Structure 1
Amino acid sequence: MKLVFAIWAASLFLAPIHAASPEDMASFDKVWQTIKDRHWNLEATGVDWAAMKEKYRPKAEKAENRTELHDVINGMIGELGQSHFHVYGSGSFNELEGLVGDFSEGGPGTLGIQVALVDDQVYVVDLTDEAAKQGLSVGCRILELQGKPLAPVVTKIKDVYSSVAQSRLYLTRTLNSLFEDFPGKTKKLKVADGGKTFEVSLTTSKPAGEPKQLLNLPTIYFEYESRVLPSNVGYMAFNVFIPEVKTRFDNETLKTFAETDGMIIDLRGNGGGIGFIAVALANRLLSENAKLGVMNNTGGSLNFAVFPQKPIYDKPLAVLIDGGSASTSEIFAAGLQDLGRARVFGTRSAGAALPSIIELLPNGDRFQYAIADYVSEGGRHLEGNGVKPDEETPHTAKSLGHKQDAAMEAALAWIRAQKGKSG
């Protein structure tokens, strides 16, 4: 089975060889040439890239095993001093792929649950009404899937992604991929909750939301939620930045939230989408011209410029993020955070703000590299670092045991406090 989003892992020791093979040297050359051709501003790094080839290629030729070769190539890449450039071996990835394949064939179907790793245990953190009818709830701990314990695959997921750029994103997605499959398949789960252990059976169904086609990408199932909570706080959540978000925000959400005391925008698990949609939302949230940041690539610079459009929502604004928040989600959250317009809650985001590519090398290894550079309005490089919340509010065994969403609770408390100050 092919892992979702083609995730590659850290290298393993391979059988020793007496010298680098032709395929290994071709891989070295491809890495060097790719950076030369695709880096957005190699001169600005201050590194003489031609000299790096002269320095490291002889070392690559003398590498006695694949691990030494990885060290040489990654040492050369490290001279750039930038994140998100790395060569990964195929060994651990193949092993993880086999373990995940024991639980799922990787289809688009869903069991209606979202899970997260808390204290090395798999907890349900969100679920559909249908899953709830089967006895599941937020805070349930999943012990087994299809009669097999989850502990071994969880250990391998953590090990594989421990040194991989965007590890938070890949860990979250791979963990949740265990509970996805082709629609119509019945899965048996062993669950612990409130001191009790029991089994439930769930059947995979088509993903919720409206199927959308974005460029030449696979079908995306768009979900959008907008409602006023009992505390008179607006809550908005969506899973991808596409034009429909702006349409619904402008025509529905702004009107519904007009008299609320504050707004929460939940970007947890939102992997990004079209960048200008972040600007389109910010146009309704800021009262003065501003920027969310700038992205540079070989074609030039792109400013995420904001030009306010009435009506403006000017009440307190909270943004929720986690390790699954990536790309445009990070640009949106970081931009509003830097401008002082929003307070951010949750856990550090994916650190996947840049468009990046993972290519297969001639020797079977993988090379991951970025093709642009994004800097937030506050001067932060998010790639590999992510957005750090103003208030770190991770799921904990205690909060989940009380069926509470720690980030939501903290955001609501902050908005209530702002109302008290203004009152």
Structure 2
Amino acid sequence: MSKKRFVLIAVITFLVASALLTPHALRVMRQPRTDADYLRLFREVVTIVKKSYVTDVDNKKLMQGAVNGMLTALDPHSQYLPLTDFTEMKVHMAGAFGGVGIELGMENGKLTVNAPIEDTPAFRAGIQAGDHIYRIDGKLTKGMNINDAVSRMRGTPGTAVTLGIERAGSAPLSFRLVRAIIKTKSLKGRLLEPGIGYVTIAEFQERTGEDFDKALKTLAADNGGPLSGLILDLRYNPGGLVDQAFRVADRFIGDNPTDEGVIVTTKGREPSSTRSLTAYVGQKEPNYPMVVLINGGSASAAEIVAGALQDHKRAVIMGTQSFGKGSVQSIIQLPNGDGLKLTTARYYTPSGRSIQARGITPDIIVDRIKKPAKTAKTGKPEDKEDEIHEKDLEGHISGGDDAVTPPTKKPASAPALKKSPDEKMVELLKSDNQVMRAVDLLKGLNYMKSTYPLPAKAPKTVTAKTTKQ
């Protein structure tokens, strides 16, 4: 057989075989993989990694990374919480713990005091912002992470912990602090002007609803009578506990007998995740004018409050577009004590608007103006703050319907307001253009109400129908 003839027969054989086998191969490729196939794939990959990875692999690290990777592939908010993180989350939302009252940070690899919390053992002992904690109960903090440091300083109230402190311009100091119950405050309230109250809520924690009720009563008492207007500041509020957001909104919704008083609705795949939270019947705040401030840092529970007050026409929403986190995360404790934060539903405002990846659009858009730097000599106008939203996050879930969100630019995240001493807070707020726009609006609404009162509605007359005989 000649060489050319052999090659020709081989080519023909290959083409015939390809023609016969290709449909079968395509059918195999198109056939969906079963759960068993994917579990087998996972086991195969784990086996290869444990056998061939450059170093020995810790099983716990490998499995926890696999679980967390699975959850983060779903959306940006589903998360696996190891026991320490799960415990810390519960303590944070409770807003109370046994400790010394220090907000910690890391600066140049050193454990640093960001600020002592007022009226706590650390504050009364004289620990200052910027102090470097180099020892905790004799153990050096070099290489210690914040979580480890926090766990060492927290403990049973009445027990003691000794901190070694390095402070600029001073010899090393030692503080023996007796732990106490530390209560973090999620809100602050004050009068900006006679009759005009201001309450800012940093986050919705377990006592936020109760503290909000107390703050409103304190403002009325300080004012010597009912308020003539209220500013509720939800800027940079990342959310928190929905039941506490409900309590805040409930103070202003549901006083109209014809109003169903829906505050928020959740909808999910399981029947138990679809429900509506409705305002309670009872005493409410007086019907004074109200402004709610929001921005790109207002998310989740903060958006629930803003959306409810907006839909019920109880408040004017002012500021910039909110973040758009309208998804419900259910917290599930696993048998081993770890936690699972899983997205199970979406939030909807009383009128049925989805918050997810859209947010709340203010009734009056007011950009916050940042003060120019002292060294700036450009003469350009003051800069606006940039914001980032839920729809900018990679892997975010959709809003649950076909509504189109107007495109916006993708900005950098905006810095949070720095806390100031209480005695300087009013002056700081009066330099905030959004707050002062809200004050002006409340004054204008009260002026219109007192100067141009709406005419009383005439009672409806009922005419009896007659039938011709």
Q: TM-score, normalised by structure 2?
A: 0.47
Structure with more relative contact order (C-alpha pairs < 8 Å, separation 6 or more): 1
State percent identity of aligned pairs: 13
Match of 1:54 in 2: 36
Deviation at 1:56, TM superposition (A): 0.9
1:185 maps to 2:167: no
Q: Counterparts of 1:225 and 1:357 in 2: how far apart (Å)?
A: 31
Deviations 1:23-79 (A, max 9, x none): xxxxxxxxxxxxxxxxxxxxxxxxxxx965134111133231457766776676677
Q: How far has the Cα of 1:271 moved from its partner?
A: 4.7
Matches within 5 A, 1:353-392: 353-360=328-335, 368-370=340-342, 372-375=344-347, 377=349, 379-381=354-356, 392=414
Match of 1:113 in 2: 102
CA distance in 1, matches of 2:218, 2:107: 36
The 5-angstrom pairing of residues 213-228 of structure 1 reads: 226-228=189-191
CA distance in 2, matches of 1:244, 1:290: 20
The within-5 A match list for 1:245-324 is 245=211, 247-248=213-214, 251-253=217-219, 256=222, 258-259=227-228, 262-264=231-233, 271-272=240-241, 274=243, 276-281=246-251, 283=253, 293-297=264-268, 298=270, 299-304=272-277, 310-318=285-293
- Within 1, Cα distance between the matches of 2:143 and 2:255? 45
Between the aligned partners of 1:245 and 1:233, the Cα distance in structure 2 is 15
Aligned to 1:31: none
Aligned match of 1:393 in 405, 410, 415?
415
Q: After TM superposition, give the deviation of residue 203 of structure 1 in Å.
A: 1.6
**Highest CA radius of gyration, 1 or 2?**
2
Identify which of 101, 126, 132 aligns with 1:135: 126
Which residue of 173, 198, 202 maps to 1:234? 198
For 2:125 and 2:391, the matched residues in 1 are separated by 36
Structure 1 CA distance, aligned partners of 2:416 and 2:288?
28
Q: Distance in 2 between matches of 1:68 and 1:75?
A: 10
* Cα drift, residue 194 of structure 1: 6.8
Compared CA separation, residues 306 and 245, structure 1 to 2 (3 A): same
For the residue of structure 1 that corresponds to 2:416, the secondary structure is coil
Please say if residues 264 and 348 of structure 2, whose CA atoms lie closer than 8 Å, have aligned partners that are also in contact.
yes
With over 3 angstroms needed to count, the CA separation of the structure-2 counterparts of 1:184 and 1:342, relative to structure 1, is: farther
Cα distance change of structure 1 residues 327 and 75 upon mapping to structure 2, 3 Å threshold: closer
**What letter corresponds to residue 134 of structure 1 in structure 2?**
A
Contact 1:358 1:368 (8 Å CA) reproduced: yes
Name the structure 1 match of 2:179. Answer: 204
- Cα deviation for residue 417 of structure 1 reads 3.9
CA distance in 1, matches of 2:197, 2:299: 25
Task: In structure 1, list runs of 5 or more residues that go unmatched.
Answer: 1-49, 98-106, 158-173, 210-221
1:112–1:224 distance in 2 versus 1, CA, 3 Å? same
State the number of aligned residues: 318
Structure 1 distance, partners of 2:426, 2:104, is 15
Query: Considering only aligned residues, what root-mean-square deviation do their CA atoms show, in Å?
Result: 5.8
TM-score, normalising length from structure 1? 0.52
Structure 2: runs of 5+ lacking an equivalent: 1-31, 51-58, 87-95, 358-388, 393-410, 445-469
**Cα distance, 1:60–1:265 mapped onto 2, change above 3 Å:** closer
